[in-house]
Amino acid sequence: MSHLPEWTLVILRSVFILIILFAITKWLGKRQISQLSFFEYIAGMTIGDIAAQVSTGLDSKFFHGVFAILIFAVVPFLTGILSLKNKTARDFFEGKSTVLIKDGKILEDNLKKEKYTSDELLELLRGKDAFSVADVEFAVLEPSGELNVLLKKDRQPLTAKDIGLKVANEKEPQTVIMDGNV
CATH number at residue 105: 3.30.240.20
- How many structural domains compose the chain? 2
Verdict on whether the full-model pTM lies above 0.75: no
CA–CA separation, 11 vs 106, rounded Å? 55
Residue 102: the pLDDT is 94
Are residues 10 and 79 part of one domain? yes
CA-to-CA distance for 18 and 53, rounded, in angstroms?
13
Alpha carbons 21 and 29: distance in angstroms, whole number: 12
The boundaries of the domain holding residue 146 are: 98-154
User: What average pLDDT values come out for the chain (182 residues) when binned by 10 residues?
Assistant: 79 90 80 70 88 86 91 89 91 90 94 93 92 93 90 85 84 72 65
- Cβ–Cβ under 8 Å, residues 120 and 139: no
pLDDT of residue 123: 93
Assign 171 to helix, strand or coil.
Answer: coil
Residue 163: inside a domain, yes or no?
no
| pLDDT value, residue 101 | 95
